Structure 1
């Protein structure tokens, strides 16, 4: 089918297709897009159209199929998004969360059990996020004293926490 035959057969159907598209989509812009997609589909398949078709019925059927394919695809996309958004924690997730909570509680207790100077410096550095110069100004310690104190505090916590993990005791 050449362009002139296509225009002669299908273009006069555009008003009827548009009315049906408005009823399907309930939206003027979507209806216009649907009619345009229908003409595009008809044009790309013009050489494969059966000779015994009713052009109006074929065009309407093509348009409805396009519409239902779009609705189906949109529904599948929304369903997959909803499925991705729903996160039901498994038993292992809950157990992992409890283990993390327990570990953070134990580390907090270990930090609180440090000697006063180490406690003060580690809180300033690791909890409050102060830099070495700020800690130096607040405590009067030198850079070397701050680094040494932090190293000793972290080593103590690391050893005690490893002991807790290895032996399961407090």
Structure 2
């Protein structure tokens, strides 16, 4: 058996393993893309004027972002993500409420909606807190979903000082 025959047999075997599906078929999804905005995915708050490790009240992050989507006459997607925080030495209290945003963009530049939500994190005895957030996003018609590219972005609603700290770190 030649090398060419072995390669051909291997390719035929792989195609058969795929069932009757065409391996070259392109599936176009009308579901939005999802991402965390780079510098808005982490939030560090300080107590007092210092910016040293002992001045950190807490650090929170948005992570494990997922999107499930259903395409029918319209496009409905569930956006879910975790918000987790670690308490710093300067934190006084048991919980913190943080604002975060969800933005829907059309064609990567035009903001369709922006909503701000709050999440309350209750720290445990180890200084950790987390919450799983689930939101529904809706594109009214499948024609709109076909015409434009949609993207869902999430991040913390930062103050100017928070944003500067994130860019400098």
State the TM-score bracket (shorter-chain normalisation): under 0.3
- Work out which structure has the larger RCO, using CA pairs closer than 8 Å and 6 or more positions apart in sequence: 2
More strand by share: 2
Structure of greater Rg: 1
